[in-house]
């Protein structure tokens, strides 16, 4: 089986541009098989990503090859990724993506210019559906038909809940036109939502998740809202969880150096011959044994990378935290074990294990992780917050679980506010008292 990532390319000014979907297909993968599984209506030209060596251009790391040899043309595997197996990347270039006409709500006229990406959420709120959409999870291009204004108003009043249920029905129609199959199923979903009355706001927020879940069931694949850059960034993190650490691993050596463990051993009047995989210096850092690998079985190299980022970016504060907590007392926290646990906390929040994030159909914060260092910056913020809470509350080791749960709740709340960059994340974190 091969995992196929397929990106919709509809022009830079199109709201649909960059929409991602992924699905598994048996090898060999053909153009006909991709066309059959591709879940969007319209006419498309497909391209496949290949290495430069595949076409005799060794100087080029990758390029896009047009699929022009008929439906049985086989698609080459671009790479083999641990945990995902054979991976193929496809672009679908639209030829005739037509706008879907959505009736105006009441007498209000909405100019098409107001449908720009930055104004999607505001528009949907005005038409009565509180359904925030990220850049890559938007419905097809929406336009307003002013001539339908009066009929829309009368029909919505007959539905009891007015604009909200009317908007839900309209959205179901739009989604049904976007996908090749399943429009009747989508209509029944929204009819039941409209009948729910008090739960309409919640139902509207989960509509897109229902749409993508139905589509995934129909086509046997996963509909993802993640961009290529986000998938690549998170995949590297996920792969690091399974990455083996060698006896002379450069990450361990770098961590030993950045934390000045030789100096700490000297202060403790313990001899040191410099870096060693097994050393008393690791216990000063907070590992449970003199061999740090015993505490890294569940995080691969990821926890090491996180702590190395923290020590590099916040060198003085890291040293201060290490010095204050290197004594093995119940009022101190083990620096290394805190690092491992915060790593696992974020792995759980982002579903990094076995690339679980690929199937995500909701969440308005994924754009943040197009920045390949965002995960490490968030780890650092969480670690510094743990130290802040520990100091403020005179915590002991028995409090560690409660503090970890609080940090997880806080970082989840910040992500749910939809930060698009680390600058946004830090601003939201300040609102929550995290920094």
Q: What is the DSSP string of 363-401?
A: -S-GGGGGSTTHHHHHHHHHHHHHHHHHHHTT--GGGHH
Average of per-residue pLDDT across 162-175: 43
At 359, the pLDDT band (50, 70, 90 cuts) reads: confident
For residue 285, give every residue at least 6 positions away whose Cβ sits within 8 Å of its Cβ, in sequence order, or none: 259, 261, 264, 292, 322, 326, 335, 336
> For residue 161, is pLDDT > 50?
no
> For residue 13, is pLDDT > 80?
no
For residue 33, give every residue at least 6 positions away whose Cβ sits within 8 Å of its Cβ, in sequence order, or none: 25
Q: Report pLDDT digits (tens) over 420-429.
A: 999 999 999 9
Q: Which of 21, 17, 44, 41 is nearest to 174 (CA)?
A: 41
For residue 39, give every residue at least 6 positions away whose Cβ sits within 8 Å of its Cβ, in sequence order, or none: 21, 179, 180, 215, 218, 219, 221, 223
Q: Report pLDDT digits (tens) over 366-375.
A: 999 999 999 9
The mean predicted confidence, pLDDT, of the chain is 73
Angstrom distance (rounded) from CA 353 to CA 357 = 8
What integer pLDDT is reported at residue 361 of this predicted model? Answer: 65
Neighbours of 52 (CB within 10 A): 13
For residue 81, give every residue at least 6 positions away whose Cβ sits within 8 Å of its Cβ, in sequence order, or none: 87, 235, 239
Average of per-residue pLDDT across 309-328: 90
> For residue 177, is pLDDT > 60?
no
- pLDDT over 90 percentage in the chain: 31
> For residue 208, is pLDDT > 70?
no
> For residue 1, is pLDDT > 60?
yes
Angstrom distance (rounded) from CA 433 to CA 384 = 12
Q: Which helix (H) or strand (E) holds 241?
A: helix 228-241
Angstrom distance (rounded) from CA 255 to CA 318 = 12
Q: Which helix (H) or strand (E) holds 216?
A: helix 200-219
What integer pLDDT is reported at residue 224 of this predicted model? Answer: 54
DSSP secondary structure letter of residue 44: E
Average of per-residue pLDDT across 390-415: 93
Q: What is the DSSP string of 58-95?
A: TT-S-EEEE--S-TTPBPPP-EEETTTEEEEEEEEEES
> For residue 358, is pLDDT > 70?
yes
> For residue 215, is pLDDT > 80?
no
At 236, the pLDDT band (50, 70, 90 cuts) reads: very high
Count the helices and strands in the chain (H runs, E runs): 16, 9
Lowest mean pLDDT among 224-228, 325-329, 363-367: 224-228
What integer pLDDT is reported at residue 140 of this predicted model? Answer: 36
Domains and CATH numbers, the chain: 2-94 (2.40.240.130), 114-222 (no CATH), 228-431 (no CATH)
> For residue 206, is pLDDT > 80?
no
Angstrom distance (rounded) from CA 212 to CA 359 = 10
Lowest mean pLDDT among 83-92, 271-280, 325-334, 381-390: 271-280
Q: Report pLDDT digits (tens) over 65-110.
A: 888 888 899 999 998 877 667 899 998 888 755 444 444 444 444 4
Neighbours of 428 (CB within 10 A): 21
- Residue 222 contacts residue 6 (beta carbons within 8 Å): no
Cα 218 versus chain centre, distance: 24
């Amino acid at each position: 089986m091969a995992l196929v990532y397929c990106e919709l390319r509809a022009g830079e000014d199109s709201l649909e541009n960059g929409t991602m979907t992924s699905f598994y297909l048996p090898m060999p993968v053909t153009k006909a098989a991709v066309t059959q599984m591709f879940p969007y209506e319209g006419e498309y030209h497909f391209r496949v990503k290949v290495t430069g060596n595949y076409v005799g251009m060794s100087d080029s790391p990758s390029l896009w090859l047009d699929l022009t040899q008929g439906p049985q043309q086989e698609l080459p595997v671009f790479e083999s990724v641990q945990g995902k197996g054979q991976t193929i990347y496809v672009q679908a270039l639209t030829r005739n993506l037509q706008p879907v006409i959505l009736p105006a709500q009441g007498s209000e006229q909405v100019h098409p210019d107001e449908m720009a990406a930055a104004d999607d959420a505001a528009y949907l709120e005005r038409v009565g559906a509180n359904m925030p959409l990220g850049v890559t999870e938007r419905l097809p291009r929406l336009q307003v038909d002013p001539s339908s204004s009066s009929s829309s108003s009368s029909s919505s009043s007959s539905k009891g809940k007015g604009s909200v249920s009317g908007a839900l029905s309209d959205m179901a129609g739009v989604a049904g036109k976007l996908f090749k199959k399943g429009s009747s199923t989508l209509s029944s979903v929204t009819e039941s939502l409209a009948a729910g009355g008090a739960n309409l706001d919640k139902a509207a927020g989960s509509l897109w998740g229902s749409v993508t879940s139905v589509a995934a069931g129909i086509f046997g694949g996963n509909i993802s809202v993640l961009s290529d850059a986000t998938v690549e960034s998170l995949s590297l993190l996920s792969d690091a969880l399974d990455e083996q650490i060698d006896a002379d691993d450069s990450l361990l050596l770098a961590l030993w150096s950045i934390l000045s463990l030789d100096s700490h051993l000297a202060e403790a009047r313990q001899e040191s011959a410099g870096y060693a995989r097994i050393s008393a210096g690791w216990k000063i850092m907070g590992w449970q044994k003199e061999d740090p690998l015993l505490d890294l079985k569940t995080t691969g190299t990821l926890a090491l990378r996180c702590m190395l980022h923290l020590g590099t970016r916040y060198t003085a504060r890291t040293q201060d935290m290490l010095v204050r907590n290197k004594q093995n007392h119940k009022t101190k926290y083990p620096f290394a074990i805190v690092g491992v646990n915060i790593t696992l906390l974020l792995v759980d929040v982002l579903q990094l294990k076995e690339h679980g994030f690929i199937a995500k159909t909701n969440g308005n914060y994924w754009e943040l992780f197009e920045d390949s260092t965002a995960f490490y910056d968030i780890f650092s913020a969480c670690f510094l917050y743990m130290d802040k809470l520990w100091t403020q509350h005179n915590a002991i080791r028995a409090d560690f679980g409660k503090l970890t749960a609080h940090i997880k709740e806080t970082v989840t709340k910040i992500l749910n506010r939809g930060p698009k960059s680390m600058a946004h994340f830090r601003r939201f974190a300040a609102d929550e008292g995290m920094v």
